[in-house]
Structure 1
Amino acid sequence: MAAVPPVCDFGWPAVDSRLPSVDGETLSILDQAGPNGLVIAFICNHCPYVKAVITRIVRDAQDLSSAGVGFVAISSNDANAYPQDSFANMKLFAKQHGFTFPYLYDEDQSVARAYNAACTPDFFGFNKDLKLQYRGRLDASRKEAGEPDLRRDLYLAMLQVAQTGNGPQDQIASIGCSIKWKDAA
């Protein structure tokens, strides 16, 4: 089922946590920030919205690194109910798509809850002070990748954040599959 996150809560502070990475390390989320900001992307392996744009996510993460913006992806889906999103499959997904950024596993879903993540993909763009400046879409793609020349919303917004510290006032929310929450114990 498709989900749409709320609009950007400008100035909301990033929340840190230490999570296991597909490279075998345990990493701090906020340690992935560059000198000009950080993008935190909630994704997963099986979502058709993510699969449609994963090459664009990897491209934009690489391009943003040149602007001093760090990038980290987090999977928070219930892997018991969705085995395609298991940690072992996260490792394969990252390798298959040439991730140049950390891919972290939020097994207990505490980070997704702290961020109020709604869908995959769900992008949070922070300035150098780690204050939220962007919560919008990657581009106009949906379950299928859009045309190659689509406006790169996330990339352009984060370039603005890197240069000015402020995100655009007009943002279009991402859309994707809802986070697959575990049943409450």
Structure 2
Amino acid sequence: MTDDAAQQPTWLVLIYRIPSEPTRLRSTAWRRLKALGAVYLQNSVGALPKSAAAERALRKLRHDILQMGGSAVLLDGAAIAGDDIVLATFQRARAEEYAEIVDRCEGFLAEVHKEYEKSHFTYAELEENEVDHKKLVDWFARIVERDRFGADGRSEAEAALAKCEEALEQYAARVYQEEPEGH
């Protein structure tokens, strides 16, 4: 085994077939694979880097596909050829997720800016913004958790989240200043 072979990631590959009707069954499997961070190598063939958590999740999904009346095989191994394609696809998916975090952060900052324009400095608005910020932070944490190979875009997403945190803190300070005590 060469050093390059020792460095190659191992993958879990789920190959499945689900009856075409009802279509919600197919979309359920697709959504669950996407939520795990899996990439599609082709129709009904999803791959994830091997980990105990990924294996548990894919075993459960396989079980659920069988319950839907479909068939599924879960494979474990390294690519003999084409590993660079699988890895590049996985990296691109993570980079796209980081870019989406940046986009959503821009939307968050625009919403906070609107609160200033409308002079909406209430605890209710603050709570809503805190909930939105927490969703962004939690989503980022899920992406980082599955970013096993250091995809591009992480530092930009971290910087965007830091701007959101700062904007939220400034907005909170303004709410505390504007909102009378006891309300």
Give the TM-score category using the shorter length: under 0.3
TM-score, normalization by structure 1: 0.24
> Highest Rg: 1 or 2?
2
Q: By percentage of residues, which structure has more strand? A: 1
**Greater relative contact order (Cα 8 A, min sep 6): structure 1 or 2?**
1
Q: By percentage of residues, which structure has more helix? A: 2
